[in-house]
C-alpha cells in the first residue's frame, strides 16, 4: 500500500478573475442526431468516452433494466460516413445483476476497439464492492477481455471512475468509498493486460487517499501512455478548510516499480469547494483540468475549473491562466471537465445551469498564448430544456475538434431515458497559389478531421508546380496531391503552391566562309623489275575538291619520283614469252 501525505501548496499565480467570456468566432455544428437512451428512466449519458478520431463513442446508462432493475448497460455507436449517422456497433453490454448500475463510468481506447465499464454497486465479495469489466470488439460483437476486476470490501464502489491508456492495455479503477474498512478513504488500482495469462494484472501498489473521508478515486485522468495518473479526492480537508478537495498526480517509476507522487497536492480554495470532483489529463500528461462545482468565487455554487501544467524546472504544477468560473449562482461549473490531447482546449460542464434553464450548460475554451487567457470558443451549448442535466458528462476528441455531451435526464417529471449530443468545430483549408492560377477550392470540414488533398494542380507560365507547403517560402512541411491533411481544431490553415522555373535551351548560329583546296596532278611511273617490258604509265589525278571551311588556299606539289636506275633490257632472241 502506498500512502502519500504531501502538503506543500501547488504554485498558484493568484489569479481569481474569470476567463474571457466574449465568444470567439468558432462555429459548432451538431454531428448526426441525438443518441437516445433505450428506454424511459435509463439515464443514458451518465458517462461517455470517445475514440480519438471521434468515430466511436461509448455511452453509459446506469439505470437501464435489461437484466434487472438498475442493472445498467453501455452501448457503443460508430459514425457511418456514407449515411452521415450514428449506428450501434454490436449489442448492448449489460450489467450482471439488478442494482449494479453498470455504465457509471466508461473508458475507451484510442482506436475504439476496447472499452472499460464500471459497475460500482455490484455485489462481489460483499455488498457494493463494485467491479470493472473490459470488452473488445471482434468484428461482430463485444467480447469480455480477462476476468472481472473486483472490489475487495463492503461498499468499496470500485468502478466509480475508470481511465484507460491509448492502446487499451492499461486501466485505472477508482473506489472512492472505503479502504480496508476505513470510512471513505478511497483508493485507485492500476492494472495491465497480460497476454500470456489472458488476464488483468495489478501494476504497483494501490494508491490510497491521504486521509479518512477524502474519497480518493472519485475522478481519474490518465496520460496516453498510462505512465501518469491524476486522482481526484473532492472531500479532502486541505489547507483552506473542510471538503476543499484536492488532486494528486502520480507517475510510474520503472526502477522502483511503483507509483510515486509527482509534485505537491493541488488543493481547492475554500470550504466545500469539492475540488477534484472531475478531472481530465492531456495525452502527454503535462496538463490537467480540475473541476470544483461548489466553488463560490463567481457566486454561490457558481463552480469553477482550473487548468495546470507540469513545470519540470521547479518540479511543481503551475496554474495556466485564470480560473474559469461558472456563469452565475448555482451554475455548478466543473461538474464535468475534459481536456484536448495537447492541453490547448477544455470543455466545462455546468449541470446547475441546465437544471435551472439558464443556458450555458457546457462551454469550451481555447488557450490564447499571446494574451495568456482562456477564450470562450464560440457560443455555449444548451440542452433541450430544464432538468435534463445536460453537461453531466463531457468528452473531447480530435484534439478538441469534437465534443460529446451527456444529458442523463430529459426534464422534471418527464421521460428520463437520457441522450447524448456531439458537435464539431468548423475548420477549413485554403490554398495560396503564389502567383499561379487554377488551384483547388477551399476545403471545409470538422475541426482536426483528416481530409485528402485535391489532385488539382495550379499552373503558372514559365514554372512547374512541385507541390504544397505550409510556408509560402517552402520552409515548412511539404504535401502532394492526395496526401492526408489534418485540419486545424478551428479556423483556417493555408497551404502554399511551390514552383520551379522551367529550364530553357539557348541556340547560337555561326556562319563560316567556304574553303577551297586544290590538289595538283600526281604522276606515277611503274617499272617492272623483270624482263617484261612495260611502257611507262602516266596517271594524272586532278581532284578538284571543294570544302566549306576557312578561305585558305593550299597547293600540293607533285611527289618526287626517282628515275630508273637502268634503261630497258636488250631483247632476247627466239620466241618471246610474256608473263603478265
pLDDT in tens, 451-486: 999 999 999 999 999 999 999 999 999 999 999 999
Same domain flag for 130 and 262: yes
Domain finish residue from 427, 446, 476: 427
Query: Does 541 map to a domain?
Result: no
Give, in degrees to the nearest 5, the angle at Cα 399 between 398 and 405.
Answer: 70
Question: Which residue range(s) make up the domain with 251?
Answer: 16-427
Q: Are 252 and 227 in contact (CB under 8 A)?
A: yes
Number of domains in the chain: 2
Closest CA to 75 of 53, 106, 33, 101: 106
Same domain, 220 and 351: yes
CA distances from 85 to 53, 79, 95, 110 (A): 16, 6, 27, 21
Q: How confident is the model at residue 360 (pLDDT cuts 50, 70, 90)?
A: low
Residue 356 pLDDT: 66
Q: Which residues pair with 493 in a beta bridge?
A: 429
Residues 359 and 385: their CA atoms lie apart, in Å, by 9
Statement to judge: residues 348 and 471 lie in one domain: no
Question: Which of 396, 427, 458 lies at the terminal end of a domain, its last residue?
Answer: 427
According to DSSP, the β-strands at 345-350 and 333-339 are: antiparallel
Q: What is the pLDDT of residues 84-104, one digit of tens each?
A: 999 999 999 999 999 999 999
Residue 564 lies in a domain: no
Tracing cell 501494476 back to the chain, one arrives at 203
Dig out the grid coordinates for 491 from the structure.
479556423
With respect to residue 454, please indicate whether it lies within any of the assigned structural domains. Answer: yes
* pLDDT tens, position by position, 134-158: 999 999 999 999 999 999 899 999 9
* DSSP codes joined into one string, 115-130: EEEEETT--SSSTT--
pTM to 2 decimals?
0.83
**Nearest-10 Cα torsion for 436, 440, 445, 447:** -30
400, 454: one domain: no
Residue 313 lies in a domain: yes
Q: Which residues of 110-144 are buried (b: 16+ CB within 10 A; e: fewer)?
A: bebbbbbbbbbbbbbeeebbbbbbbbbbeeeebee
Say what the alpha-carbon torsion angle 134, 136, 141, 146 is, to the nearest 10 degrees.
-50
Task: Tell me whether residue 524 is in a domain.
Answer: no
DSSP annotation string for 34-97: -EE-SSTT--EEEEEEE-TTSSEEEEEETT--SSSTT-BEEEEEEEETTTTEEEE-SS-EE-SS
Residues 317 and 231 reside in one and the same domain:
yes
Q: Phi and psi dihedrals of 339, rounded to 5?
A: -130, 145
In sequence order, the 6+-apart residues with CB closer than 8 A to the CB of 387 are: 354, 355, 357, 409, 410, 411, 412, 414
Q: Does 528 reside within a domain?
A: no
Residue 200 shares a structural domain with residue 140: yes
Of 501, 533, 556, the position where a domain reaches its end is 501
Q: Is residue 353 part of a domain?
A: yes
Q: Are strands 443-446 and 515-519 parallel, antiparallel or unpaired?
A: unpaired
Whether 22 has a pLDDT exceeding 90, the answer reads: no
**Residues 384-395: tens digit of each pLDDT:** 887 889 999 999
Residues 78 and 194 reside in one and the same domain: yes
pLDDT of 21 > 70? The answer is no
Whole-number pLDDT of residue 405:
98
Residues 470 and 407 in one domain: no
Query: Which three three-digit cell numbers place residue 573?
Result: 632472241
SS3 breakdown of the chain: % helix, strand, coil, rounded to 5? 0, 40, 60
| Domain identity same for 437 and 421 | no
For residues 416 and 439, membership in a common domain is answered with no
pLDDT of residue 515: 54
Amino acid at each position: 500500500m502506498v500512502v502519500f501525505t504531501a502538503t506543500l501548496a501547488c504554485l498558484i499565480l493568484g489569479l481569481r478573475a474569470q476567463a474571457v467570456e466574449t465568444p470567439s468566432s468558432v462555429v459548432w455544428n451538431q454531428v448526426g442526431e441525438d443518441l437516445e437512451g433505450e428506454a424511459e428512466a435509463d439515464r443514458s449519458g451518465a458517462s461517455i468516452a470517445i475514440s480519438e478520431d471521434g468515430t466511436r463513442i461509448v455511452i453509459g446508462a446506469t439505470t437501464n433494466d435489461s437484466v434487472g432493475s438498475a442493472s445498467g448497460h453501455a452501448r457503443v455507436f460508430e459514425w457511418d460516413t456514407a449515411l452521415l449517422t450514428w449506428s450501434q456497433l454490436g449489442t448492448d453490454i449489460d450489467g450482471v445483476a439488478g442494482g449494479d448500475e453498470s455504465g457509471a463510468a466508461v473508458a475507451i481506447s484510442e482506436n475504439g476497439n476496447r472499452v472499460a465499464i464500471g459497475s460500482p454497486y455490484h455485489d462481489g465479495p460483499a455488498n457494493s464492492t463494485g467491479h470493472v469489466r473490459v470488452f473488445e470488439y471482434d468484428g461482430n460483437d463485444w467480447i469480455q477481455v480477462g476476468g472481472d476486476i473486483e472490489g475487495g470490501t463492503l461498499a468499496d464502489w470500485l468502478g466509480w471512475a475508470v481511465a484507460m491508456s491509448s492502446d487499451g492495455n492499461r486501466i485505472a479503477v477508482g473506489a472512492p468509498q472505503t479502504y480496508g474498512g476505513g470510512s471513505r478513504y478511497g483508493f485507485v488500482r492500476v492494472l495491465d493486460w497480460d497476454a500470456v495469462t489472458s488476464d488483468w494484472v495489478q501494476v504497483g501498489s494501490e494508491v490510497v487517499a491521504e486521509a479518512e473521508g477524502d474519497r480518493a478515486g472519485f475522478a481519474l485522468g490518465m496520460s496516453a501512455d498510462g505512465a501518469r495518473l491524476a486522482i481526484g479526492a473532492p472531500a479532502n480537508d486541505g489547507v483552506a478548510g473542510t471538503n476543499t478537495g484536492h488532486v494528486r498526480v502520480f507517475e510510474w517509476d520503472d526502477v522502483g516499480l511503483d507509483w510515486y507522487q509527482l509534485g505537491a497536492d493541488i488543493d481547492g480554495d475554500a470550504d466545500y469547494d469539492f475540488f477534484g470532483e472531475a478531472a481530465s489529463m492531456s495525452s502527454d500528461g503535462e496538463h490537467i483540468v480540475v473541476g470544483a462545482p461548489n466553488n463560490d468565487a463567481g457566486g454561490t455554487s457558481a463552480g469553477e475549473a482550473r487548468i495546470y501544467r507540469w513545470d519540470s524546472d521547479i518540479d511543481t504544477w503551475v496554474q495556466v491562466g485564470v480560473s474559469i468560473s461558472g456563469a452565475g449562482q448555482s451554475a455548478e461549473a466543473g461538474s464535468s471537465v475534459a481536456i484536448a490531447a495537447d492541453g490547448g482546449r477544455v470543455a466545462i460542464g455546468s449541470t446547475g445551469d441546465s437544471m435551472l434553464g439558464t443556458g450555458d450548460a457546457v462551454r469550451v475554451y481555447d488557450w490564447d498564448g499571446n494574451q495568456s487567457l482562456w477564450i470562450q470558443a464560440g457560443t455555449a451549448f444548451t440542452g433541450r430544456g430544464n432538468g435534463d442535466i445536460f453537461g453531466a458528462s463531457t468528452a473531447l476528441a480530435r484534439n478538441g475538434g469534437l465534443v460529446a455531451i451527456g444529458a442523463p435526464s430529459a426534464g422534471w417529471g418527464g421521460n428520463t431515458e437520457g441522450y447524448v449530443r456531439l458537435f464539431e468545430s468548423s475548420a477549413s483549408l485554403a490554398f495560396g497559389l503564389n502567383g499561379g492560377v487554377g488551384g483547388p477550392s477551399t476545403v471545409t470540414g470538422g475541426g482536426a478531421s483528416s481530409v485528402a488533398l485535391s489532385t488539382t494542380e495550379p499552373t503558372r507560365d514559365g514554372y512547374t508546380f512541385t507541390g504544397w507547403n505550409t510556408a509560402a517560402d517552402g520552409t515548412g512541411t511539404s504535401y502532394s496531391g492526395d496526401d492526408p491533411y489534418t485540419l486545424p481544431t478551428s479556423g483556417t490553415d493555408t497551404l502554399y503552391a511551390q514552383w520551379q522555373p522551367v529550364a530553357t535551351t539557348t541556340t547560337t548560329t555561326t556562319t563560316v566562309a567556304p574553303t577551297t583546296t586544290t590538289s595538283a596532278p600526281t604522276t606515277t611511273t611503274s617499272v617492272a623489275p623483270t624482263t617484261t617490258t612495260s611502257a611507262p604509265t602516266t596517271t594524272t589525278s586532278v581532284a578538284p575538291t571543294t570544302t566549306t571551311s576557312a578561305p585558305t588556299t593550299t597547293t600540293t606539289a607533285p611527289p618526287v619520283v626517282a628515275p630508273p636506275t637502268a634503261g630497258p633490257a636488250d631483247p632476247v632472241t627466239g620466241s618471246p614469252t610474256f608473263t603478265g
